[in-house]
């Protein structure tokens, strides 16, 4: 959420940011509603002050006639106050709804564009594999080795359900353990196991609600299932004041994740690329309120993910997302996309974003700076690894002519073998 004072002082900049993100929001209406809200608030506060003063005078008044006259006057005031409070409540509700529609302003370096087709390559890494045979898809590889059960997965869990078994399950655990060791031991991030279920306020605070409601699963207890540990970890510090000395806070959080994929019918319906239930390790950072600090951490989180891909020796490229492919709160975003031999194209495996104080303002996460001023922290997040999607890249890039799959060297100590056959 942007500061309303900033919005009113920079309406053209905010409107331009919304246009670049291809988000339709009426900033002028918001400004008018805010002016009305402030006027009503002033009137309500004045009437309440008058009411409080009169109550004190009535309790101390000795003249019965004057006392009754003032009581009658206060009855009229009370009726007027009730009407004004109702108007204020409606204005505040409309104001809140409009405030939650205002997107964060994208960085000037974000390219123009409406969809991910307009995302621009920043760099690439690794040599694309050359096979002396026609490479199989991850589905064919797993079915050939008896590593997955897609039909039984659908029977049990419905559309996009799956079972992983045998060596692919062990490979999955190996990837998690490698990434956990890398992020906690080498990078010094604090490990978390985060809940998947969270209250609605956490999703609104991180920007997934109200716009993304169709993508979320909801329980009968009015809890939502998160599609990333970013949601519960950001909620972890909601309404807290952190010390500046404790920043940056760097977390690596593991959680089950759930997405309805409501807008993806017909896309990647087979295999492991686009599933409803998956696991993810997420990098989350809270840092001081500095654009330079946010940019520094954004590059570092992206570099962490790239180092993971390089350790796995999976070819990839990094793209900077265009304005139309940014979420409501993101200032800038990179996607890392891994090479998929069977499709001869790159597919997204990681997303890296920074938000300035968009999320922390909504969640009221602040810190006290050296001058004693309260400031909203800046927040960032980036995928460390998402599975089973990462397994697609490993299986397809490491496949052999006989149908076997070489285990990436960095995972062998966790797997206890160097070949899946």
- Render pLDDT for 52-95 as a digit per residue (tens, 0 to 9): 888 888 877 777 778 788 888 888 989 999 999 999 999 999 99
Give the pLDDT mean for 231-256. 97
**What was the pLDDT predicted at 419?**
97
Q: Is the CB of residue 348 less than 8 Å from the CB of residue 336?
A: yes
- Checking if the pLDDT of 51 tops 90, the result is no
| Sequence ranges of the chain with CATH classification 3.30.930.10 | 116-420
- Checking if the pLDDT of 268 tops 90, the result is no
- Checking if the pLDDT of 229 tops 90, the result is yes
**What was the pLDDT predicted at 267?**
62
Q: Is the dihedral of CA 260, 263, 269, 273 positive or negative?
A: negative
Name residue 366's beta-bridge partners: 241, 376
Give the pLDDT mean for 319-339. 98
**What was the pLDDT predicted at 262?**
65
Q: Mean pLDDT score of the chain, rounded to an integer?
A: 95
Q: How far apart are CA 181 and CA 176, in angstroms?
A: 9
Tell me the CATH number for domain 116-420.
Answer: 3.30.930.10
141 half-sphere exposure, CB direction, 13 A CA radius: 29
| Sequence ranges of the chain with CATH classification 1.10.287.40 | 4-99
**What was the pLDDT predicted at 166?**
96
Q: Which fold has domain 4-99?
A: Helix Hairpins (1.10.287)
Least confident of 62-71, 166-175, 277-286, 374-383: 62-71
| pLDDT tens-digit series, residues 196-212 | 999 999 999 999 998 88
Q: How far apart are CA 351 and CA 359, in angstroms?
A: 17
- Checking if the pLDDT of 127 tops 60, the result is yes
**What was the pLDDT predicted at 300?**
98
Residue 241 φ/ψ, nearest 5 degrees: -110, 115
Q: Which residues are catalytic?
A: 259, 274, 348, 351, 389
Q: Which long-range contacts (CB under 8 A, 24 or more apart) does 324-327 make?
A: 324/20, 324/21, 324/22, 324/113, 324/114, 324/115, 324/118, 325/113, 325/115, 325/116, 325/118, 325/119, 326/21, 326/103, 326/106, 326/110, 327/207, 327/353
* Token pair for 230: 């970013």
**What was the pLDDT predicted at 263?**
57
Percent of the chain residues past pLDDT 90, beyond the cut: 88
Residue 265: pLDDT band (50, 70, 90) is low
Give the pLDDT mean for 151-164. 90
Tell me the pTM: 0.92
**What was the pLDDT predicted at 158?**
86
**What was the pLDDT predicted at 32?**
97
* Token pair for 52: 């409080």
**What was the pLDDT predicted at 135?**
96
């Amino acid at each position: 959420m942007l500061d309303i004072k900033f919005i009113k002082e920079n309406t053209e900049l905010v409107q331009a940011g919304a246009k670049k993100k291809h988000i339709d929001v009426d900033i002028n209406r918001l400004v008018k509603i805010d002016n009305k809200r402030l006027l009503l608030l002033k009137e309500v506060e004045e009437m309440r002050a008058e009411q409080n003063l009169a109550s004190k005078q009535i309790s101390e008044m000795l003249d019965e006639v004057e006392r009754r006259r003032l009581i009658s006057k206060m009855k009229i005031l009370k009726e007027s106050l009730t009407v004004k409070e109702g108007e204020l409540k409606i204005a505040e509700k409309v104001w809140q709804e409009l405030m939650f529609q205002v997107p964060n302003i994208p960085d000037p370096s974000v390219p123009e564009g409406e969809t991910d087709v307009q995302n621009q390559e920043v760099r690439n890494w690794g040599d694309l594999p050359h096979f002396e045979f026609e490479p199989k898809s991850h589905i064919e590889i797993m079915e050939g080795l008896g590593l997955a059960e897609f039909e039984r997965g659908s029977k049990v869990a419905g559309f996009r359900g799956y079972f992983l078994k045998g060596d692919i399950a062990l490979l999955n655990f190996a990837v998690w353990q490698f990434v956990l060791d890398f992020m906690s031991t080498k990078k010094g991030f604090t490990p978390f196991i985060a809940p998947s279920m969270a209250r609605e306020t956490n999703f609104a605070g991180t920007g997934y609600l109200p716009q993304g409601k169709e993508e979320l699963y909801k329980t009968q207890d009015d809890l939502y299932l998160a599609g990333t540990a970013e949601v519960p970890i950001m909620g972890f510090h909601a309404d807290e004041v952190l010390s500046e000395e404790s920043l940056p806070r760097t977390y690596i959080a593991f959680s089950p994740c759930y997405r309805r994929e409501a807008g993806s019918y017909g896309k990647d319906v087979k295999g492991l690329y686009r599933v409803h239930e998956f696991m993810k390790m997420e990098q989350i950072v809270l840092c001081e309120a500095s654009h330079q600090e946010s940019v520094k951490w954004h590059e570092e989180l992206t570099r962490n993910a790239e180092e993971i891909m390089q350790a796995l020796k999976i070819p990839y490229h990094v793209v900077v997302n265009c304005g139309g492919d940014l979420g409501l709160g993101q200032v800038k975003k990179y996607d890392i996309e891994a090479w998929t031999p069977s499709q001869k194209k790159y597919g997204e495996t990681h997303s890296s974003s920074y938000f300035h104080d968009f999320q922390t303002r909504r969640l009221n996460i602040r810190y006290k700076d050296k001058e004693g001023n309260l400031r909203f922290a800046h927040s960032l997040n980036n995928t460390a690894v998402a599975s089973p999607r990462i397994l697609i890249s490993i299986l397809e890039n490491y496949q052999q002519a006989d149908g076997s799959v070489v285990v990436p060297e960095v995972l062998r100590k966790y797997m206890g073998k160097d070949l899946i056959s």
